[in-house]
Structure 1
């Protein structure tokens, strides 16, 4: 991508972020999401949270992509976001759902420092940042929903996530279009946790933005 192309994408993404559709979608939480977006735009690349090509696509590729999970949280009271990184989707979802307790689990210290700064800056009283791998919390934390984004292939991700999910709860994770290919190799792991059949769902946000592929696996 040339500098000119990057500037054009950046301008289009910024325009999307200010659009009436996005403002309406986030409602009274829009200003907080916009503040988070600005921090990501200013610091995301220099702090090693997102790549340089992603800075110019924050709203479409990251914020709205993450927000698409929110309708699938249902009546959850607690959520763990594993491998939270820059806070995608955990921070976005915590902004959208202030009634839900969020645990952002991230092993890298510099990222947990960032997450804690963001939590304090945005005044997110419903968020706890936990440093460590998901496996370290298997016997210490049980939640209604576990989320993640671009963490691991499904078999490995299920081993990391499902021990954190209470019976009746679910993994609700962001995946690529080819997620169906990951399901069969993960069957043995899923059977060991007595899960229901995986559901491939479509997450829609605002008109003109590509739907997000979401995988939901309920623990019986």
Structure 2
């Protein structure tokens, strides 16, 4: 799968020796992605800057894996594979799980992995069909170092869905719209109730891409429900009356 369209200069810097895979992914989005309704029909000329390079803004926020251990990233509501597949292409130290509840979209993701030859390229990537809160998903993706979500749901809902999948000290990284800072202000308490702390908003610029708006939060050891239980125990309200 090749294209005669010029490759953005930024793509070479971002994807390195995997730039051809990135080009093929863009063409797959432009063809099958649009045909199957995963990418808007007017997005064909903006896939690099609006979707693929834009998604790689998360890469610099993933930290560095330990020796001989990859960073486990779970992408919730992956849809067309954004930001999961671009992250897999620009970072060689990741283990990606793409979670998608809709059959036609999960089939698209499986096909993309096969058509692009991602596993043959040494990329650790898999698809789980289901919702983030499903038992099978939790069992298969829990203790992730990072959970990502791109325009999936309001932050309050996202916190409840994603928190059980993140290891203690791991992160939720949500890709949002321009009103992300207001959303964080509105839903900060929901994050804390689900054990997600130190939340902050930032705008990340990747050369050749539209700005990416991120909300990042860290998984603490306790949730609001855990704290409430400790308080009740200290007060003795959970003890059997004599």
TM-score scaled to structure 2, two decimals? 0.79
Going from structure 1 to structure 2, the CA distance change for 1:187 and 1:114 (only over 3 Å counts) comes to same
After alignment, is 123-132 or 16-25 more displaced?
16-25
User: How many equivalent residue pairs?
Assistant: 206
- 8 Å CA contact retained: 1:145, 1:169: yes
**Which residue of the partner structure matches residue 97 of structure 2?**
103
1:163 maps onto 2:157 in alignment: no
Give distance in 1, aligned partners of 2:45 and 2:59: 23
d(CA) in 2 for partners of 1:142, 1:25: 28
Q: Which has the larger radius of gyration?
A: 2
Cα-Cα RMSD: 1.9
Q: Which residue of 2 aligns with 1:134?
A: 132
Q: C-alpha separation between the residues in 1 aligned to 2:62 and 2:5?
A: 25
Partner Cα distance (2:156, 2:92) in 1: 31
8 A Cα contact 1:44 1:55, kept in partner = no
> In structure 2, do the counterparts of structure 1 residues 150 and 17 end up closer, same or farther at CA, with 3 Å as the change threshold?
farther
Q: TM-score scaled to structure 1, two decimals?
A: 0.87
Q: Identify unmatched segments of 5+ residues in structure 2.
A: 66-70, 221-242
What corresponds to 2:72 in structure 1?
A: 78
Alignment of 1:124 with 2:118, yes or no, is yes
Q: Which residue of 2 aligns with 1:216?
A: 216
Q: Which has the higher mean CA deviation after the structures are superposed, 119-128 or 185-194?
A: 185-194
State the Cα distance separating 1:201 from its structure 2 match: 2.1
| Higher alpha-carbon deviation: 176-185 or 156-165 | 176-185
User: Where in structure 1 are there 5+ consecutive unaligned residues?
Assistant: 1-13
Q: Distance in 1 between matches of 2:6 and 2:51?
A: 11
